[in-house]
Amino acid sequence: MSTKGFFGLIGAGIGVLLLIIGLFTFTERVPEGKVAVVYSPSGGAKKVLNPGWHLVGLFEKTQQYPTRITILKNKVTVTTKDGKSISMPTSYEMKVDRSKVLDIFKELGSQNVEQIQEGYLYQRLFRATRSVVSDYSVLDIYGTKTTEASAKITEKVADESKDLGFIITNVVLGTPELDKETEKAIDARVQAAQELELKRQQVENEKLEAEKKKIIAEGEAQKKVIAAEAEQKANQLIEKSITPELLKKMEMEARLKHGWVEIQGATPLVEAK
C-alpha cells in the first residue's frame, strides 16, 4: 500500500470516528413514555421533544419527564390524632401533563425526576399526609381506615400538584412503623376486638338456634291444632249423619242378622236369637 493510500485510510477512519462522536454529541434519544425539554445554560428552555431521535445544538442540554405513570416511593413521619408519631412508607403514581412541561422546567429548573420527587413532590405529600392523618387515631391508620386516609391524601396531593403539571394518583399508605409500647397496645386492642367479635358471633348463633327451636315448636303445636280441628270436624259430621231414619235402618238390619235388637240412643243392644 502506498503512503498516500495509507494516509487516506487513516483520514477515513478519523472521519468515521468524528461522525460517531458527533452523533453522540449532537443527537438525543427520547424513550417512549417520556418527553424532553431542550435548554441551554444561558437561554433557558427552548422546546419540547417527543419520543425518538433528535438533533440538538452543541451547547444545548435536555431534561426528560415521564408522560406515562411512574411509581414513586417515599417515607413520611407524621402525628396521629391521639399524639402518636408514626413513620409510614408511601407510594404513589405520577406522570406529567405534556402541555405543561415547559412550565415545570421554568418553575423547577433542570431538576431530574428523582430530585423533584425528593423536593417539590415530597413537600406536598408530607403536608397532605400530616393534615389527613391528624384526623385519625393510630389504630385507624394501622388498620381499618388506611384506605380511606389514602384516598383523602391522594385528593389533596393531586389538587396541589395539578396546576404546575404533575398528575398524581393512587397514594398508598404502608404499614406504620410503631414503637414497642404502641405495638403492644394495638395488639391488645386487636385481641380484645377479636374476642368481642367471637362472643358476638356466639350470641348470634344462640339466637339463631333458639329461633330455630321456636319455629319447630310452633310448627308442632300448629300440627296438633290442625289435627284436633280435623278430628272435631269429623265427629261433627258423624253426629250429623246419625238420623232417626238411619237408626231405624240399623235396627232392621240388626234384627235380620242377629235377631231382636233394642236401640238405646245411638247404641244398638243385641239379644241373641
Please write the tens of the pLDDT for every residue from 107-153. Answer: 998 899 999 999 999 999 999 999 999 999 988 888 789 999 999 99
Lowest mean pLDDT among 75-89, 170-184, 213-227, 250-264: 250-264
How far apart, in whole angstroms, are the C-alpha atoms of residue 113 and residue 34? 11
> Stretch 45-64: mean pLDDT, rounded?
84
pLDDT band at 22 (very low <50, low <70, confident <90, very high): very low
Higher pLDDT: 246 or 210? It is 210
Q: What single-letter amino acid sits at 186?
A: I
Rg value, the chain, Cα: 47
CATH number for the domain running over 70-178: 3.30.479.30
Read off the pLDDT band of 9 (50, 70, 90): low
* Whether the Cβ atoms of residue 157 and residue 166 lie closer than 8 Å to each other: no
This prediction has a pTM of 0.60
pLDDT (average), residues 248-264: 66
**For the residues of 63-108, what is the DSSP string, one character each?**
EEEESS-EEEEEEEEEE-TTS-EEEEEEEEEEEE-GGGHHHHHHHH
| % of the chain residues with pLDDT over 70 | 77
Mean pLDDT (the chain, rounded): 81
- Model confidence band, residue 19 (pLDDT cutoffs 50, 70, 90): very low
Q: How far apart are CA 109 and CA 120, in angstroms?
A: 12
Where in the chain are the domains?
Answer: 22-65, 70-178, 179-241, 242-270
